Structure 1
Amino acid sequence: MKSGKTGSLNKFFAWSLLMAGLLVAGCKTSEPGGSEILDPAYGPGWSAVHADSRNSDYSTSQGPRKVELAWNRKFDGTINLGPTIGRQGQVYVTTNAGDCHLYALDPQTGKTVWCTDKVNKFAVASSALLDEQGRLFIADNEAMHAFDALGNLLWETKIKGFPFSAQFTQTGRLIFITHIGIIYVLDRTNGAFVLEPHLLSGELPSDPNFDPRACMRGTADCPCANTLAIDQQTGRFFFTYWAPGAAQAGVRAMLYSEKNGSSIKPLWEQTALPGGSASSPDISADGSRIYVNDNAGGLHAIDAATGNSLWKYNIGYEPGGSQSTSPEGLIMPAGGGTAPLMCIQDVGREAKQVWKNDSLNHLGLPMQTAGNLAFATVAGSQGKSYKDLVVVDTKTGEVLDRVQFPGKTLFTVGTTIGPEGNVYIPAFDGTLFAFGPR
């Protein structure tokens, strides 16, 4: 499936105003409060970049306690994020080189089921979002695209800027924020605008020259550098933002509602992220707290209703991505540099260290699963160029299994689990590893 596309965004604003009035109805039921919900949106399993709408990086499936390498595959270019997984276990991954930039892979072999060049190389900074019908949604720096499970393009809607993966609203709409601070809500069946694009700065930014490297630290040059988190019970959504002229980055909360027509309402803002945002925000299982990292070694807990700071914990280094948070409030920050593998517990008005293993140099993004298990990439015995996958008990830090990655490997950029129990770990150099239960 290859057909290159080009597009100009010069007429973006006039076009978006024309489309803003379109609203396509779906199969609806009433929810408390009088708003309407569409058919359930999220697919089963790991259907979003960070597993779910909360950005938890947690799976309710229990992972394997013992693992072995099932297969690995090297792609041209880089992989920037962990894959998402379809209903039948199909693995979806993005790359930035070659003709195809979105791949569907067989989970047993890693072989290509289909690939498409309908998205350009900038799609590498997103993971495909999957709905219950098996449709995929992913953007590049020109448009948001929808595909069916066979890789056929369903629709594409031009956008301004680049979003770092999308989510679904509580009403089943597609919601995302581009890196320059424009919020979009689209009908996922046809890409029509549910409401007019919302400009966080109050005015339309100039045409951006998107460079993924400028967004790695979430600084002023890339105001919205992460994936939003949305509470499916309330419609509140949370995102990091470095406002124009602000001294540092922060977190903002807004409310999406369809009670009296589709609307977005600002709730609060918290400017507490020195050096920029180091992670996407994630929502606690009960919806009461937001967790996010800054670029000065701070892990923050913020009250989801008010935006008040609840606590700040110094993890001692700048993490290289988003943390994993369990329903019990166990938080495992991403690795980076000389980071030790660690686990932190939210105990209310403060955080406490549950355990820390200084002998495990953490060099990836962790994942937790049911059964009190966590999967993380650490430096191997031959140095940082070589990596090991460790399976640990999240309550004690006990290493339950340790398996070497073949050859030299760069920093790993995600950890995902499939329905068959495979653990998928991509490295920045474009290699995807699949570890199966042993």
Structure 2
Amino acid sequence: MRDDESLTLDLPATPHTAATQAATQAAPHSASQPAPPQPAAPGAGLPRWVRVLALAGLVLAAVNLRPAVTSLGPLMTEVRDGLGMNGTMAGLLTSVPAACFALFGFAAPRLARRYGPGAVVCAGMALITGGLLLRPFAGGTPAFLAASALALAGIAVSNVLMPVIVKRYFPDRMGAVTGVYSMALSLGTAVAAAVSVPLTHAMGHGWRLGLGVWAVPAALAVLVWLPLVRDRSAATAPVSTSAAAATGENGRITRSRTAWTMAAFFGLQGTAAYVTMGWMPQIFRDAGISAGQAGLLLAVTMVMGVPLSFVLPQVAARMRSQGPIVVVLGAFQVAGFAGLWAAPAAAPWAWALLLGVANCAFPLVLTMIGMRSRTGAGVVRLSAFAQSTGYLISIPGPILVGALNQSSGGWGLPIALMLALVVPQVLCGVLAGRNRYIEDEL
């Protein structure tokens, strides 16, 4: 995307601006009718300390968006034994994140309009803290699932609002700030995967304390977000009827082909990510690799996203179409799953690295969400629809993988399923990456 196009993305949805955009699309300005001056980007007039605090909040929130999931994968065997889970129930457990993200993600836009995105994200961090504190005290599978769902509800609303926060506070630095946020998310994901097993062994209290310790960084995030709770000036304010008509605000998001392809791409890449986070350590352990090394391998997969998540959004933001990046990431995904299928213990570090690159489809799709709408309100709608619908799409994948493993007694059939899903994932990603806006389709 060119630099001049980024300004178009960040215009606030006022009646004057909407009408100006409509007139600009209808006919070019003549010499006698020069274009009216454009208003400043919505985050340009904010005090520096507010933007610094928002950036710190974004980083801390991102760090806490995955440990509830990736701390569980390396300890799955211990959790299953401690709670008496079978393979299918464990597969259901790995699908709980997607189900919660879909269910609660749909509520995020309405909550943000009523209370402000800062307040909702702060509440989300508080839910993560509470859920992670309660999970170690679960005496059975239902209680463990309930505590996990509480934490995942907080992750869900925060997930949806992260692109909104970026567009609100950093409209002139969307690619760079998305990269920082994505890098922090990958770092939190990797650290949780790498140190959960060593922490469990070091503290000597079994898997429960090893999972509960991740409530500490979530509580820290709550403290940072508290000063932003009362800021309700995000780009989610209602617009007038004429402005909404001119910008497509009144159209149903389900009428947009770009929104559907974005949701499908989000769901399919999410399926691959949650299968990787939930089952890859178990695949390595079943191949004879120790639990500690399996956790390190998952950490390698996650840590690959740290540098790539910083660079990739900036590269994608400068491209008119993100399709080529989608294809490259799909090729890495095929290579990684093929290695797990053929010989998981032969070159485990290579398979972990390949899947780590493939998992960078997540920061890519976050960047694409911010680029496919002209207004902040449009980003809210697209983010909520694409993420919530996408997570619904991703729910069956981890469950099927667990069920196929249990029924077949091996990992060949589950991994073959994951290889087959790469084809529609790449196709939907290429279509979602085309240079167009959802407002034009509504």
Q: Answer whether TM exceeds 0.5 for this pair.
A: no
Return the structure number with greater relative CO, CA threshold 8 A, min gap 6.
2
TM-score relative to the length of structure 2:
0.26
TM-score relative to the length of structure 1:
0.26
Whichever structure has more helix as a proportion of its residues is 2
